[in-house]
Structure formats: structure tokens, C-alpha cells
Amino acid sequence: MCTRDNYCRRCRRELHDATSRTRGMGPECDPLTRVQHHPTTDVVQDPIPGL
């Protein structure tokens, strides 16, 4: 059976999970379930000598 509901609306990969089929997107593409990876700006550095 090949219907639109079996494929991700964003990347067009086949969906295997019932929840993904209901949402129409896989976990990698769904903004509600996707983990946001933001680099941290906190960098531990030694102070510059002389300043």
C-alpha cells in the first residue's frame, strides 16, 4: 500500500511509526519532537596575560 500518509511531508522518507504517520512527519523532521542542538557559547579560557 503506497499512500501519501506513509511518507514524511518534509523529507519524503517512509514512516514506520503510527505516531509519525498521524503527524505526517518523522521524528527527525517534526519540530515538536526534534531535539534542538545549539552550540553553547560558554567557553572556559585562561585569561590573557598582561590584561
pLDDT at 27: 86
On whether the pTM is more than 0.75, the answer is no
- Residue 40 placed within a domain: no
pLDDT at 38: 58
Q: Using one digit for the tens of pLDDT, what is the confidence trace for 1-51?
A: 455 679 999 999 999 989 889 989 988 888 887 666 556 667 677 888 886
- Residue 44 placed within a domain: no
Quote the number of domains for the chain: 1
Q: Determine the Cα–Cα distance for residues 13 and 26; give it in Å rounded to an integer.
A: 8
pLDDT at 9: 93
pLDDT at 5: 73
- Residue 41 placed within a domain: no
pLDDT at 36: 60
33: left (phi > 0), else alpha (psi -120 to 50), else beta?
alpha
- Residue 7 placed within a domain: yes
